[in-house]
Amino acid sequence: MNGKHAYSAFVETQDTILENLRTTRNTLLTDSDWTQLEDSPLSEEKKTEWKNYRQKLRDLTNLDDLTSIFWPTQPS
């Protein structure tokens, strides 16, 4: 997957696209919650990478054009 998810504006309404985006985004945030815990085994550098990734996920709902969404890549 190249990180791009395209929706057809003719098939789904903006509200439906936003609802689906939030559902997927929230799942990805929940799945990565552990990366920000104090006792996480990650280094501070990796925690920062995950923190930035998570912020990019949150920022997705601020997009002007929801017909072409670029999902951020999870840190390795």
Higher pLDDT, 32 or 64: 32
Cβ neighbours around 42 below 10 Å, total: 15
pLDDT, residue 9, reads 53
Cβ neighbours of 5 (radius 10 Å)? 14
Q: Give this prediction's pTM.
A: 0.80
Residue 24 is assigned to a structural domain of this protein: no
Is residue 23 domain-resident? no
Domain with 75, as residue range(s), is 1-7+39-76
Count the domains in the chain. 1
69 forms beta bridges with: 5
d(CA 9, CA 13): 7
Q: What is the pLDDT of residues 10-49, one digit of tens each?
A: 567 888 889 999 999 999 999 999 999 999 999 999 999 9
